[in-house]
Amino acid sequence: MYEPHDNAAWRRSSYCGDNACVEVAETPTGAAVRDSKNPQDPPLQLTRVQFSTFLAGVRSGAFDVGGR
């Protein structure tokens, strides 16, 4: 289900600086995720469980590429 995000409080990591980054906003059902380079595109909708699972993967290094 798509939720409008015109008034969403989008946040991104302070590590991004002026670079393109993933942005996240809390929604009533979980979270919305978008690419800061294309904020006009529809965001990815995640339930609370999906977003928590994603964050656990990030924290564990599951998405690390090239040893970064």
Count other Cβ atoms within 10 Å, centred on residue 50: 14
DSSP 16: G
Residue tagged 């529809």 (tokens): 42
Torsion of CA 25, 53, 30, 68, to 10 degrees: 0
Report the predicted TM-score, pTM, of the whole model to 2 decimal places: 0.73
pLDDT for 6-48, tens place per residue? 678 999 888 787 777 889 999 999 999 999 889 889 999 999 9
Residue tagged 């991004």 (tokens): 16
What are the two backbone dihedrals, phi and then psi, of residue 19, each rounded to the nearest 5 degrees?
A: -80, 160
Alpha helices, DSSP H, located in the chain:
48-60
